[in-house]
Chain A
Amino acid sequence: MSLKYQSQKIAEYFYTFAVVLFLVQVVVGIIAALQFIWPGFFILNFNTVRTLHINAMVVWLLVGMMGATYYVVPEESETELWGLPLAKFQFWATVVAVTAVILGYIWMGINPQANSPIMGMTPLNEGREYIEAPRWADALIVVSVLLFLFVNFMTMLKTKKWTGIQGTLLGGLLVLALMYLPGMFYTKSMVKDQFWWWWVVHLWVEGAWEVIAGALLAFMLMKVVGAKREVVEKWMYIEVGFVMFTGILGTGHHYYWIGTPSYWLWVGGIFSSLEPVPLLFMVWDAFRTTRDARNVENRAGLYYTVAHAIFNFVGAGLWGVIHTLPQINKWTHGTQITTAHGHLAFYGAYVLLVLSMIYITLPAIRGVKAFNASRAFQSFWWMTISMVFIVLTITGAGMVQVYMERLMGLDYVAVKANYNLWFWVLRAIFGVGFLIGVGIFVVDFFKLGKEPAPAVAAVSDR
């Protein structure tokens, strides 16, 4: 695959920022893991470290998807990007805003009083999980996403080639932008606060983001193994369709215990237990499409793509469905079981998605046909094996916690500090393994295409 339009190179700006934030996310993640063992381990308290961990994640995945979109849209529209300077401005404005927000978190972590409300709003940290960014930053994020949507929409309008992939991608991004709005107003009731908060969090990761993932998966299958557009797009519609049919009402699985009416136990239980189905379609789709592929130029890209489909199903699907029924969730809600699900779901569904897009599009951006994929495989195995064990240790911790705290009635702190201690130690060790994988990936990202080409260009004998 070679680069068709020069403006697609803008994707690399976004990828670079995403990769840097990925490294930040994992380093602070290890600090957080150590604080489970020694709570006073770092100058910043756990709440600040964790805010950095999850915010870096949301931002780098989002920025990575933006980069991928800037690559996909010109290719699908068969034209240069409309308003490249505007896209570059959007990139730098995003970097500045994100940096300011991060510095604000750190400042608030050192001096909590700096977050005292001004005109009824906390200026540095909104104190709401995942959407900690203060209101002024919310406004900047909305402007950034609108600019981004505008540039892509105008590009599509230039040639009016409404391919299914870019239509679905745009649709997913539009829903993503709209679903940020329910998190942008204050409610006096903590129940309503959490109700609208889930609109943002759930309808992002189990709605809009999965739609974007479905569209990008279709694009990648076409590019890597040369699958036929008609077939790929049809399955994409079915997959993202079922994501929405199950995911929208599946939001109900967050409305069991927060003060909302009990009919949500039925709505959430039924629809969220169906949520793994479309993810299984995606696995089947990825296998079916790639099974007979020979002479694949970009084996690393293929690897990451198929792994994304598999771990999306395992992490988001299986690890979610095990505790989604209200009869079980009553006991597991708010325990480490949720943490385990969160880690594998984000890794499988979105980390591997963005990394696949990087491995598929970056060689073209850097102007090379083939590249040495050994580091790509090394980092894949370091990260994947480590993440699987991180998730297994947290799942173990969650099972112990559910049994001892929820069923036996032992104190939360006793379980965490005594009975789960070894799980925290193991988790931190596997966290270091994950960091090694990320380190190899970061090196690979910066070196890819800049070294002498490998002796054997395409692997054709396997």
Chain B
Amino acid sequence: MTNKAARNLFIFGSLFFFAIFLGLTYDTMGKLDKRAPEITEQVNAGKMVWHKYDCIGCHTIFGNGSYFAPDLTKTTVNKPKGYLKQFLMDPKSANPNASMPKLGIKPDEADNIITFLEWTSKVDTNNWPPKPILATAGGVAGRELTEGQRLYQSLGCSACHTINGIGGTTGPDLTTVGAKRDRVWLAGHFKEPKAFVPESPMPKVEAPDADIEKLTDYMLSLK
């Protein structure tokens, strides 16, 4: 191959692939809005808050960013809004173990950013992030679960709490909660968390008394 032929291959080959890339970009741009919910003014305001505090300097969103703190794409799916708001404004008041600093996020900014994150959680991301294989399998393997264990799963408690190493770290670890709390405390706390822990960001457990009783039994068995 002569030098001239090699040069022409480089130039025209590059232009050829760039033309394909432009075509795909055009097609993609036409499809993006259908793959995501409508962007309201509040979603956009939340996105501006995201940029203002340089959130991507620690977190990732759609998996892109800084890998220093959790990915926030689906965070509103598992975490209660009240918790998120309190956490955003003063992380350590919602979770004493939090590493996130208090940035001075204002109440309306917190609302906006939660709305923005609700938007990202509904974007069609080709099923990313995938459901963890083992944790998913653990719930459907046909093991005999007690009523309380089933309620613990169906109410989504593990999004924030950990038992035996599995679960979230935003709420207290419950592995030995049965040794620390009694029945009155646990059942009362489920119905009205703030009556027992004034600063608690935990939402009330909206369930019939019978279910609260079963959940309490389960908690007491954790020693």
Contacts and interface: CB of A to CB of B under 8 A. Distances in A.
Contacts of A249: 17, 20-21, 24
A244 B51 contact: no
The range of chain B's interface size is 35 or more
Given A50-B68, A237-B9, A241-B10, A259 B58 contact: no
Given A241-B9, A409-B135, A411-B169, A334 B60 contact: yes
A393 B126 CA distance: 30
B48 to A, nearest CB: 6
Interface of A: 35-36, 39-40, 45-48, 50-51, 108, 112-113, 115-117, 120, 122, 125-129, 132, 164, 168, 188-195, 197, 230, 233-234, 237-238, 240-241, 244-245, 248-249, 251-252, 254-265, 267, 330-331, 333-336, 338-339, 405-414
B145 interface: no
A334 B53 CA distance: 20
A132 B51 CA distance: 9
A335 B62 CA distance: 12
Contact of B53 (A112, A258, A265, A406): A112
B36 to A, nearest CB: 6
B202 to A, nearest CB: 17
Interface string B1-26: 11100110110011001101100110
B127 to A, nearest CB: 8
B67 interface: yes
Contact of A333 (B1, B123, B128): B128
A189 B56 contact: no
B97 to A, nearest CB: 8
Contacts of A256: 126, 128
B74 to A, nearest CB: 11
16 contacts: A46-B58, A47-B68, A126-B51, A127-B52, A132-B54, A190-B47, A190-B119, A191-B62, A194-B64, A241-B10, A245-B17, A248-B17, A248-B21, A406-B130, A408-B132, A413-B99
Interface in B69-89: 69-71
A168 B10 CA distance: 10
Interface of B: 1-3, 6-7, 9-10, 13-14, 17-18, 20-21, 24-25, 27-29, 31-33, 35-36, 39, 43-44, 47-48, 50-58, 60-71, 97, 99, 101, 103-104, 116, 119-120, 123-136, 138, 162, 165-170
Contacts of B61: 190
Contact of B51 (A40, A122, A191, A339): A122
Given A164-B7, A191-B35, 7 more contacts: A40-B101, A129-B57, A249-B20, A264-B28, A334-B129, A409-B166, A411-B169
B70 to A, nearest CB: 4
Nearest to B48: A117
A257 to B, nearest CB: 4
Nearest to A397: B67
A244 B65 contact: no
- Which residue among B31, B51, B57, B61 has the maximum number of chain A CB atoms within 10 Å of its CB? B57
B9 A331 contact: no
Contacts of A258: 62-64, 125
A188 B47 contact: yes
Contacts of A125: 54
B170 to A, nearest CB: 8
Is the contact region of chain A dominated by helix, strand, or loop, or is it mixed?
helix
A112 B52 contact: yes
Given A51-B54, A190-B47, A241-B9, A409 B134 contact: yes
Contacts of A36: 68
Given A249-B21, A257-B128, A47 B166 contact: no
Given A237-B6, A259-B123, A115 B54 contact: yes
Contacts of B31: 260-261
A411 B36 CA distance: 27
B54 A127 contact: yes
Contact of B3 (A117, A234, A254): A234
A197 B51 CA distance: 14
B133 to A, nearest CB: 5
Contacts of B7: 164, 237
A267 B39 contact: no
A259 B124 contact: yes
Nearest to A333: B63
B105 to A, nearest CB: 8
Contacts of A334: 60, 63-65, 67, 71, 129
Contact of B103 (A112, A190, A244): A112
Nearest to B128: A257
A461 B128 CA distance: 59
